Chains A and B, each alone.
Chain A
Amino acid sequence: EPEVTQTPSHQVTQMGQEVILRCVPISNHLYFYWYRQILGQKVEFLVSFYNNEISEKSEIFDDQFSVERPDGSNFTLKIRSTKLEDSAMYFCASSGGPLPYGYTFGSGTRLTVV
Chain B
Amino acid sequence: AQTVTQSQPEMSVQEAETVTLSCTYDTSENNYYLFWYKQPPSRQMILVIRQEAYKQQNATENRFSVNFQKAAKSFSLKISDSQLGDTAMYFCASTLDTNAGKSTFGDGTTLTVKP
Give me the interface of A with B, judged by CB distance under 8 Å: 31, 33, 35, 41-45, 48, 50, 55-56, 89, 91, 95, 98-108
Contact = CB atoms under 8 A, between A and B. Distances in A.
B102 interface: yes
Nearest to A104: B47
B100 A102 contact: no
Nearest to A31: B101
Contact of B103 (A45, A89, A107): A45
Contacts of B100: 48, 50, 55-56
A108 B43 contact: yes
B115 to A, nearest CB: 26
Interface stretch (B10-18, B70-78, B80-88, B104-112): B104-112
Interface of B: 33, 35, 37, 42-47, 50, 91, 93, 95-97, 99-108
A81 B1 CA distance: 30
Nearest to B104: A45
Interface centre among A41, A48, A103, A104 (most CB of B within 10 A): A103
Given A42-B108, A43-B91, A100 B45 contact: no
Contacts of A95: 101
Contact of A100 (B91, B95, B108): B95
B103 A108 contact: no
B42 A107 contact: yes
Contacts of A35: 105
A42 B107 contact: yes
Given A42-B108, A91-B45, A108-B43, A103 B99 contact: no
22 contacts: A42-B105, A42-B107, A43-B45, A43-B91, A43-B105, A43-B108, A45-B104, A48-B101, A55-B99, A89-B43, A91-B45, A98-B99, A99-B97, A100-B33, A100-B95, A100-B101, A100-B103, A103-B45, A103-B103, A105-B37, A106-B44, A108-B43
B66 to A, nearest CB: 13
Given A99-B97, A100-B33, A102-B50, A45 B102 contact: yes
Contact of A103 (B43, B47, B97, B104): B47
